């Protein structure tokens, strides 16, 4: 599998994508998820974002957010340190394009 796949109502994501966001080894991802040390949130886009999905992973004080189209292509990716309340530093991956969206 490469990237993100949608199959019978489930989402499958290559562990290397998650591992890269958290700077850990891909072999650790499944174990950390089973232990509850990596958690996730899945959201379906509405209105102008229809046809896209936002998948967010949390591990320690880091957040990895992926915006994916219906074909499983990552169209936006960000990693944030979410330490103190109200404080975050976001790093956008330069290789992801955001078609049909205005820059923030």
6-57 pLDDT tens trace: 888 788 999 999 999 999 999 999 999 999 999 999 999 999 999 999 999 9
Q: Measuring CA to CA, how many Å separate 27 from each of 15, 23, 43, 48? A: 8, 12, 26, 37
Which pLDDT band, with edges at 50, 70 and 90, does 93 fall under? Answer: low
d(CA 56, CA 79): 10
Q: Does the predicted model carry a pTM greater than 0.95?
A: no
Residue-range domain boundaries for the chain? 4-92
Which pLDDT band, with edges at 50, 70 and 90, does 84 fall under? Answer: low
């Amino acid at each position: 599998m490469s990237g993100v796949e949608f199959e019978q109502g489930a989402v499958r994501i290559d562990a290397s994508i998650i591992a890269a966001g958290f700077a850990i080894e891909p072999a650790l991802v499944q174990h950390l998820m089973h232990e509850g040390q990596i958690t996730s949130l899945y959201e379906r886009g509405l209105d102008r974002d229809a046809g896209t999905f936002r998948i967010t992973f949390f591990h320690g004080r880091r957040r990895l957010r992926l915006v994916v189209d219906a074909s499983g292509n990552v169209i936006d990716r960000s990693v944030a340190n979410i330490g103190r309340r109200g404080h975050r530093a976001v790093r956008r991956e330069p290789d992801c394009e955001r078609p049909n969206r205005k820059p923030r």
